[in-house]
Amino acid sequence: MRLEFHQLDRRWEHLRVRHPARQRQLLASLAEVGQQTPIVVVAVEGQPDRYLVIDGYKRLAALQQLGRDTVEAVVWPLREAEALMLDRSLRFSTHETALEEGWLLRSWSSATAMDRRSWRAALIGSLSWVSRRLALVDLLPEGIQQQVREGQLSAHLAMKFLVPVARVSLDDCQRMAAVFAQHHCNTRQAGQAVCRLARRLAPDPPASSRPTRVCFSKPSRPPNRRLPPPGPPPCSAIWTWRPRF
């Protein structure tokens, strides 16, 4: 069925991370061949002709950029929580990051009455797995999470470098995120920048703790020298060690 944009409820759009390059490819494909795959919606209880979008937010954004007014949709005869769990279980091609999974869990906890055991069954994770995802969302400032949603920072970069800093200092975490976003750093570039900063801030070891090179050498023997008689070697032929500074 075809639906107009004003009939759609997009309350779960913030759970998706935006990828500008993929969005441009999708925009070009829709402009060339049109919409081939319908979006997934469910009917909103108590609101006739109102539908909640479960899957297809990137297609909606691209169609809006193209100036379209309607979208092809398929309606699942399920409730909201059931449709979200089914959509999550059917996503085999795209791998979500831990941060995206944390957003999903946090949104479910505020919008539905699901307990953690239900989350475990829906996301195929242990109870500790659920707790770790929720802790990551709670640690990272909301402004940085918004940068991840808009594609200014990658979710993997935020998980690897910004979350550990947020455990220590939120101000340092925000300053680091601003630098990464300003220079459009990927995960590899961010790792190199962190290593350079760590080497710059590391104090030099004291001179007494630096290793000393020790050279063991045998004194050279003068030419045309007769061999000594058998017996204990003279003192000049004993191996000695000389420190090299």
Looking at the domain assignment, is residue 139 inside a domain?
no
Answer positive or negative: Cα dihedral of 197, 202, 207, 212. Answer: negative
Looking at the domain assignment, is residue 55 inside a domain?
yes
Looking at the domain assignment, is residue 66 inside a domain?
yes
Looking at the domain assignment, is residue 33 inside a domain?
yes
Domain count, the chain: 1
CA distances 28 to 22, 36, 59, 149, Å, are 10, 13, 11, 22
Looking at the domain assignment, is residue 36 inside a domain?
yes
For the stretch 98-147, pLDDT in tens is: 777 777 777 766 555 455 555 555 555 566 777 777 777 888 888 888 88
Give 119's contacts (C-beta < 8 A, 6+ positions apart): 105, 108, 125, 130
Looking at the domain assignment, is residue 208 inside a domain?
no
Instruction: Give me the domain span that covers residue 52.
Output: 1-94
221: left (phi over 0), alpha (psi -120 to 50) or beta: beta
What's the confidence (pLDDT) of residue 245? 45
Looking at the domain assignment, is residue 206 inside a domain?
no
Kind and range of the H or E run holding 42:
strand 39-43
Looking at the domain assignment, is residue 149 inside a domain?
no
For the stretch 150-199, pLDDT in tens is: 878 887 888 888 888 888 888 988 999 999 988 888 888 888 888 887 77
Output the domain CATH number for residue 51: 3.90.1530.10
- The per-residue DSSP string of 195-242 comes to HHHHHHHSPPPPGGGS---EEEE-PPPPTTPPPPPSSSPPGGGS-EEE
